[in-house]
Amino acid sequence: MGSAMIDVSYQIVLQMTNSEGKRLYKDAGKEIEETEFHAYIGLLILTGVYKSHGEATKSLWNTENGRPVFPSVMPYIPKKPAKYGIKVWTLCDAKTSYAWNMQIYTGKRASGIHGKNQGMRVVLDLTAGLKGNNGICDHFFTSHELAMQLLKV
């Protein structure tokens, strides 16, 4: 019965998230797929499991004997106050803060090669399907080439 309750809970959260997206954005929104949702929850649980067994958080990112899953989806940035975490590119509605589109940052593209113009690629990916909207972002995502691309859309 416990497993069925968890499945129902997942389905409710997923359904309500997608329902809110449809309500706010009509047909322009992208539904979150069940596998994406489960992967995200799985990473959160896995992080808690390792930390609950007394394993130091820093050791999870150790390249020699750490957990390979963590560096592949969660960067370790030693100069940042929050050194560990899942980096997610997110496009949000300015009024409601609703996340319209997201991408998990893995450090490299599917080809395994670090991409050039990453900021431009992220903005174009996240805004695909949007027309006639204003966008606000920081300097990482700003370039003349991106502005020209967005004017074409």
E strand or H helix that includes residue 34: helix 34-52
How does the average pLDDT of the chain come out, rounded?
77
Residue 78 maps to a domain = no
Please tell me the pTM assigned to this model: 0.47
Indicate the DSSP class of residue 16.
Answer: H
Q: Domain range holding 147? A: 112-153
Q: List the one residue out of 101, 78, 100, 102 whose CA is nearest residue 88.
A: 102
Evaluate whether residue 137 is within a structural domain.
Answer: yes
Which pLDDT value is given to residue 2? 54
Using CB atoms within 10 A of its CB, is residue 73 exposed (0-12), middle (13-18) or buried (19+)? middle
What mean pLDDT do residues 69-80 have?
70
Please count the structural domains in the chain: 1
Asked if residue 132 belongs to a domain, the reply is: yes
